[in-house]
Amino acid sequence: MSTPERPDRSPTDPAPIPPSRLNVLTKVLDWLKAGYPQGIPQSDYVALLAVLHRRLTDYEVHLVVEELIRERVAASGIDRADIEAAIARVAKEQPGEDDIARVASRLAAGGWPLATPTSD
């Protein structure tokens, strides 16, 4: 079912993301690509989700993950279900402090701000 404002959105979907937050999500994806130019290794998934959750809402993290899945499927032909299953497995794990530090360092190298990202 769709809504009059957005025919492709179900009434149970979260509210549309304001343009300022979409800009933040675009920046996050750019930082991820800069920090991981060869792609994100599976060994960093758990820590990456932990780092993203420090700055983004659950829904925003979901949107970032959806975009990363879309890009990975398009680039490699890996089955989307396999990627979703891997993410579901690692999402339940707790990252170690050294894993978080490694991921945060990679993201910082890509321009990830130490403060909360803004729409500027």
User: Is residue 83 included in any domain, yes or no?
Assistant: yes
**pLDDT of res. 114:** 54
User: Is residue 68 included in any domain, yes or no?
Assistant: yes
pLDDT of residue 9 exceeding 60, the answer is no
The answer to whether 72 touches 29, Cβ cutoff 8 Å, is: no
Helix residue ranges, H only, 1-118:
19-35, 45-55, 58-76, 80-91, 97-109
Residue-wise pLDDT tens digits, 42-71: 788 888 888 888 888 888 888 888 888 888
User: Is residue 117 included in any domain, yes or no?
Assistant: no
- If one compares 112 and 5, the residue with the highest pLDDT of the two is 112
Overall number of domains in the chain? 1
Residue-wise pLDDT tens digits, 68-113: 888 877 777 677 777 677 777 766 778 888 888 888 888 888 777 7
CATH number of the domain encompassing residue 78: 1.10.150.430
User: Is residue 92 included in any domain, yes or no?
Assistant: yes
Q: Identify the domain containing residue 87 by its residue range.
A: 24-109
